[in-house]
């Protein structure tokens, strides 16, 4: 495990260093968009697309490109629409004295997108929700 800044270039540098020091690593999990992109760049620089399985979190053009070129194997994609909608709904209930009805945990859903389902309608909606 490495703790790196949520910035793609720093994540790339830190990931390359980790992989060079520990060549036995064959799986990476990045927990946000910038570190996902940085880890993918490190994998590309090391020509390790076939030997390292990368799961990234969130999505942008670079991470979707990574799915297509093989530097990213899967993305865990959040649902920002549900986050916003359910957040506003909860705030409304609180403001109207209905706080007792609120769930302690709200599942806003995620979706796993990989090369097999990348072009499915559901994956496209998850990846490009606002485009």
Domain-located, residue 30: yes
Confirm whether 38 is domain-assigned. yes
Please check whether residue 85 is in contact with residue 122, taking contact to mean a CB–CB distance below 8 angstroms: no
59: domain range? 8-78+110-127
Quote the pLDDT of residue 25: 97
The strand order across the sheet containing 74-78 reads 27-29, 53-57, 74-78, 110-114
> Model pTM?
0.86
Say which CATH number the domain at 50 has.
Answer: 3.40.50.2300
Element (H, E) at 13: helix 8-21
Task: Specify the number of domains making up the chain.
Answer: 1
Instruction: Flag whether 15 is in a domain.
Output: yes
The rounded distance, in Å, linking the Cα atoms of 17 and 79 is 32
| Structural domain includes residue 39 | yes
CA distance 41 to 46: 9
pLDDT at 131: 56
pLDDT at 5: 77
Task: Report yes or no on 21 lying in a domain.
Answer: yes
pLDDT of residue 130: 64
pLDDT tens, per residue, the chain with 131 residues: 678 878 999 999 999 999 999 999 999 999 999 999 999 999 999 999 999 999 999 999 999 999 999 999 999 999 988 999 999 999 999 999 998 888 889 999 999 999 999 999 999 989 987 65
């Amino acid at each position: 495990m490495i703790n790196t800044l949520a910035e793609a270039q720093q994540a790339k540098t830190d990931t390359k260093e980790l992989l060079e020091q520990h060549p036995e690593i064959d799986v990476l999990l990045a927990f946000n968009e910038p570190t996902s992109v940085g880890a993918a760049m490190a994998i590309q620089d090391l020509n390790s697309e076939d030997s390292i399985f990368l799961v990234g979190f969130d999505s942008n053009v670079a991470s979707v490109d990574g799915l297509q070129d093989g530097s990213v194997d899967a993305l865990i994609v959040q649902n920002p629409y549900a986050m916003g909608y359910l957040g506003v709904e909860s705030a409304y209930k609180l403001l109207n004295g209905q706080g007792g009805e609120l769930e302690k945990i709200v599942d806003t859903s995620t979706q796993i997108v990989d090369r097999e389902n990348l072009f499915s309608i559901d994956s496209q909606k998850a990846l490009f929700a606002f485009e």
